[in-house]
Structure 1
């Protein structure tokens, strides 16, 4: 009996353990404050802590400046102690500011006109706050406004924000301020409000719109807001002019101050629906997504939506690792944003209303996200990726070329090249459902042959490279366009377009025309073939007036992801390539840098995207163990759980996607090849949920000191290749790593075990 009892107990404990694993909530590991503010001597991720749902249009979050500017593109800085209000749209991790639509702030006391004081748009409604009275989790944000002791809670749906304000006992004059002038600093990107309207609909609702131009041009933002309490009085402002108890006001600098009757100090609830099309659609979005006043019910739905998305990739590991990992996955899934209304309406790039049957996605930071975020979407979000692709093709059809940096359906032309091309080709070659290969090919070929901002193909065809005296950022342009051309060639090959294949493959070698064998770098030339002087490989470029984009010659030397083996040959063979790569990671001298330079390991700068693939290049040599070393070092030293948890701008999921892939043990150096190079897994177990009920498991004996691959098995068979393919993963199965504290100098070094592109 004793043996039986023991057996039963062991069985029960096992079942309880399994049940605990099944019921473990992944959202509890997400910390939205990661990346929201820098500590001394570092950069932050420029993320925000507010409420949003996966890929949703609304991001309801506090703005800690009256006029958010370049250094806080997300609107929030963890180091600030002041909140100007809560606006409904934000960008996550970008290096440029925009949005901040429909700012709302609860208040008490008399409101005043602008004072000119920094960070306080109206002296009566901004407030100090403390992080000790602030919380954030997926789909929910809370803060206590210190100056008036108002507790603010926020949650969101795809197209609507939900506010809950709890005023202190005895509040005589509770009110809400709605500001339609709040934006990034006026003049940045020529930002200005072109037109706006406020309309008091009845004693429980207000509606309006604004047309604003900034980083995205001529954005139309419509809103409809309802309150659970009666509006007792309303005052409307246009700049310094006040209009008492007026129900309609048009202008360009509009604010409304609404006073409420709140019996027994009960909470004031505010629901706000948004639309790019009309007030009617904003109202419909609100009524369908938040039909009642159950605030915590909506917050629970937001949490459940995040739980579903995060559950597509489950890992086991230490708590801190899981916090960084799931916050990274959370940040990756914030965007692109579906800004089509519930009924499918959206405002197109031609400023007319269109209809989408599966949503319409925007916020495509493609110069950043084509590298890792989009390959991660093809793996974990295949249905949405299909929508992304079809939406990009819509821009091609309506605008003449694929997106470069699309924001709220408008092209802002930020960055160089046209990196929608690798995104489309990658999804097409992986066989994602719902993608028409001929339409994709028409779009990528057309975009790779039509001159437009950031892609001067006429110069490339005529000269064979981009000359610096004709267009700045010439070296980066030549190298990045060469990769895009390789992508077009691969789809041409698949579709048996032989002439196109030969044309684009030839042009994909254009980087060779800027290689200077004497200096050992890619350098700028004039249109007469003369090397530009002086030349300093340490000098950084920004976004113009330099041959290099947000990097230097050291970092751009490695940007030939389509043919690393040819880069090795250009360098003079593997021995010289290894020596240069070793120097890259150990050469600590700094030349002239800028704000894009951060997260350094030697010349490697993890804080910006041009460096992201470089640690994996040892896999093309006889020393793949060095890839393992540097990947583990980057994960360990350049990501953490603090407000400065990223080494640079998070950039709409790219910084996070790098960490997600690298923690799993592989990374797409060539993001359109379907090949992932093996690095150093940082988790004990991972399960990737795939379509058709398939699973791909990754098993390791990971420990902090075990960063080197000793051996690998794929589906229980020894595996010696230093890469795996997307096809292997999608087929389902199991990848097992045996890790150790010292390098296995023999694993993955044979020529047949190395990647070919």
Structure 2
């Protein structure tokens, strides 16, 4: 089929900013970019990066300061003072690293195969769409900006005689965790242009990035290093190897900046060239940077807040910024992309392919947030899930590039699909959705055979097999049985909603019954969710403080943190545990018990502790809101106030755990506005303690306005709430209450 580049560019830009507009196209936008600090989350274990990108863009151009270990997940950690290269692809806030593709490093006077830059923190600057730093040991000022698929570099050298650039095609992140280069093809196109393809295996078992690099002036001399050795033959026009490959380029003496444009493609160098020509045909760095500012400012203005506390403004808009880093477009301007079947596809009109869905994390708040502020984009992501099933035979689970990583618990794509249905955002054939959901919820020996020998085999575990056979997962058969059992019960409820939408009543009823399997883990004696052995008995001995990463009955947590997960069945869950007074007592115990974590191999993800509540990881994110199902919602308001003030701060360590592709930040955005969706799939939000004084959310119905009266740090309790002037009797509002437009008014107090 034929498509014009112009139409595709317009479509992609429209999708990135989809859903809502500020009040009118002529209304001036407020400067919200000024409140974003991309360094927040780059310290502690936040694992974010400070580099330049645009909303949901393929190119995420950032300095790589950390190459090995957990803190190298994004390639950057704030404590570092060395830069190994500026690479064009990154992950934001993950607990596993990958990418770091096509790294460039300008240098001067260094006689080394792999020069390394040093820098001082005070010379770093980062705002949305722009990054700058001075390389002290080389005397070079570096500036970076981007389009969606092109990285744009500006290098200003102190020494005009020593203008050099290294292209490091052996550069990877977390090589000590098995990430490696498996293929390198390179071509010297002309004296100012090179192109090629790098293939790696890591968290994404199959990963291929093609590039087209154009310098603003001719290369004077080329030095090529193959596997650490300088090649002595003449001009290296073409190279094909699986070895480490580096090029050093020397440029003529000139007292002016050197510019570099790097087009990235998911398919081939021809695609990279098309992307570069379509998005950045000229050399105006400042204009490109200004365009990025305007795009980011428009995106951030989808929610306009006011606060008397400047820290809240920075936390809020930095968090909103982080919710728009991923998933990112994984498709060239001509519509081509590499699918989950590892084949090249051309997108049908209206379809845009995306990658990097951290679904187990992001189903909880990121995707619900996008159904409000970018509903068309949220709906498109549902289509990507279904397309992934059509290509790969199973719904995506932490898809990275064109690979299933199989990471985390269960089959969380069901939550995304069920929530779209509940909010009337679902597009496509519901019978196909039902087929995709059911076939992704059972053990698949066919796929186990297909994925044998690859990292994608992690997608197929025996948890589903045992769940279908016994109605529970034996703790003595597979690890993390309780976490999988609880989450699969929720996902099966989601499947029942999908089947219901398709009109398949029998299947809906079947999965509704499976949705009650969570009760099998509920121990009436300890009042916690507990591992069940193959003989039907609870595991003994039992220590609810115990954690053993990937070896215990719980995923990245312990019994305390996992014993409150039945979001789809709260009323029956509360009845099963003995009523709402019992729920309140259990919540009180969770938040006030000792914060000690037992176990020599306890999960490092258990951070941000209040008692045994762990805000640094996703299984706890809904728990403070459960006080709204008790007679003491004020207790939840107290904890929400503490979490937002203490675990989100205006400094590099300002995110208390892995950012996880926007989930930690989406939790803050929604909570600071005063509401949260405990169960995606039920189009209802429960109210909390808002941090903003005033907010306007631009929605399909116009504006949803939030006003908070008497909002001070001391006034952390909600005295009353009015929706469109009517006093609310219960702390809940519907999705339609928000997206149809209206006004929510909180009146705060210092007493409960």
Report if TM-score (shorter chain) is over 0.5: yes
After TM superposition, the structure 1 = structure 2 runs for residues 516-595 of structure 1, keeping only pairs within 5 Å, are 516-542=523-549, 544-592=550-598, 593-595=602-604
**Corresponding residue for 1:51?**
52
- Alpha-carbon distance in 1 for matches of 2:463, 2:643: 35
Q: 1:496 aligns with which of 499, 503, 519?
A: 503
1:357-436 matches, within 5 Å, as 357=349, 358-432=351-425, 434-436=427-429
Q: Distance in 2 between matches of 1:341 and 1:579?
A: 54
> Contact between 1:492 and 1:498, CA under 8 Å: does it hold in 2?
yes
* Residue in structure 2 matched with residue 186 of structure 1 by the alignment: 175
User: Would the aligned equivalents of 1:418 and 1:455 in 2 still touch at CA under 8 Å?
Assistant: no
Residue 729 of structure 1, aligned match among 725, 738, 741: 738
Report the equivalent of 1:77.
Answer: 77
1:283-336 deviation digits (Å, cap 9, x = unpaired): 110111111000011111111111111111111113211110010010001010
User: Contact conserved, 2:562 with 2:619, CA < 8 A, in 1?
Assistant: yes
Distance in 1 between residues matched to 2:305 and 2:78, nearest whole Å: 29
Aligned equivalents of 1:711, 1:32: Cα separation in 2:
36
Are 2:417 and 2:498, in contact at CA under 8 Å, matched by a contact in 1? no
**Unpaired segments ≥5 residues, structure 2:** 1-25, 445-458
5 Å-filtered alignment, 1:620-639, equals 620-639=629-648
Question: 1:751 aligns to what?
Answer: none
Which residue does the alignment assign to 1:281?
271
Q: Distance in 2 between matches of 1:23 and 1:712?
A: 29
| Counterpart in the other structure of 2:194 | 206
Residue-pair matches, total: 705
Are residues 1:338 and 2:316 paired?
A: no
C-alpha distance in 2, partners of 1:183/1:336?
21
Gaps of 5+ in 1: 1-19, 39-43, 114-121, 744-757
| Residue 298 (str. 1) matches residue 288 (str. 2) | yes
| Partner Cα distance (2:686, 2:651) in 1 | 29
Alignment root-mean-square deviation, CA: 1.7
CA distance in 2, matches of 1:682, 1:262: 55
Distance 1:455 1:51 in 2: 41
- Decide whether the 8 Å contact of 1:30 with 1:330 is kept in 2: yes
* Structure 1 residues 21 and 597, CA gap change in structure 2 (3 angstroms): farther
TM-score computed with the length of structure 1 as normaliser: 0.91
Distance 2:312 2:428 in 1: 36
Q: Does 1:224 align with 2:212?
A: yes
Aligned runs of 1:118-157 on 2, under 5 Å?
Answer: 122=114, 125-157=115-147
Distance verdict in 2 for CA 1:29–1:589, change over 3 Å? closer
Determine which of 251, 263, 276 is the counterpart of 1:260.
Answer: 251
- Please give the alpha-carbon distance, in whole angstroms, between the structure 1 residues aligned to 2:657 and 2:576: 31
Corresponding position of 2:17: none
- Aligned equivalent of 2:18: none
Counterpart contact for 2:63–2:86, Cα < 8 Å:
yes
Q: Is the 8 A contact 1:426 1:674 kept in 2?
A: yes
Q: Could you tell me how far 1:450 is from its partner in structure 2?
A: 4.6
Q: Distance in 1 between matches of 2:514 and 2:480?
A: 18
Equivalent in the alignment of 2:225? 237
Structure 2 Cα separation of the partners of residues 110 and 605 of structure 1? 47
Match of 2:694 in 1: 685
Residues in 2 aligned to 1:186 and 1:73: alpha-carbon distance in whole angstroms:
11
Q: Is the partner of 2:567 in helix, strand or coil?
A: coil
Q: 2:476 aligned to 469, 482, 488, which one?
A: 469
- Deviation at 1:612? 0.3
**Secondary structure of the equivalent of 1:563?**
helix
In 1, the alpha carbon distance for the partners of 2:509 and 2:169 equals 54
TM-score, scaled to structure 2: 0.91
Q: How far 1:187 moved relative to its partner? A: 4.8
Give per-residue Cα distances to partners, 1:68-115, cap 9 Å, x unaligned. Answer: 4322311111001111110000000000110000010001114323xx
Q: Distance in 1 between the 2:180 and 2:672 partners?
A: 43
249-258 or 361-370, which moves further after superposition?
249-258
1:315–1:455 CA distance, 2 compared to 1 (3 A): farther
How far apart, in 2, do the equivalents of 1:229 and 1:207 lie?
Answer: 16
SS in structure 1 of the partner of residue 736 of structure 2: helix
Cα deviations by residue, 1:232-288 (Å, 9 ceiling, x for unpaired): 01111111221254222222210110110142x100000000112110110110111
SS at match of 1:424: helix
1:589 to partner: Cα distance: 4.1
8 A Cα contact 1:314 1:686, kept in partner: yes
Counterpart for residue 19 of structure 2: none
Alignment pair present for 1:700 and 2:708: yes
Tell me which residue corresponds to 1:35. Answer: 41
Q: Is the 8 A contact 1:238 1:253 kept in 2?
A: yes
Q: Which residue does the alignment assign to 1:486?
A: 493
Deviations 1:348-371 (A, max 9, x none): 111110012432101000110001
Of 131, 150, 162 in structure 1, the residue corresponding to residue 152 of structure 2 is: 162
User: For the Cα contact (< 8 Å) 2:493–2:568, is it kept in 1?
Assistant: yes
Deviates more, 1:601-610 or 1:696-705: 696-705
SS of residue matched to 1:530: coil
What is the CA distance between 1:22 and its match in structure 2?
4.4
Question: What is the deviation of 1:454?
Answer: 4.5
Partner of 1:515: 522
Residues 214-247 of structure 1: CA deviation (Å, up to 9, x unaligned): 1001211110000111100111111122125422
The reply on whether 1:173 has 2:173 as its aligned counterpart is: no
Deviation at 1:516, TM superposition (A): 1.4
* Residue among 22, 30, 34 paired with 1:24: 30
Contact kept? 1:429, 1:491, Cα under 8 Å: no
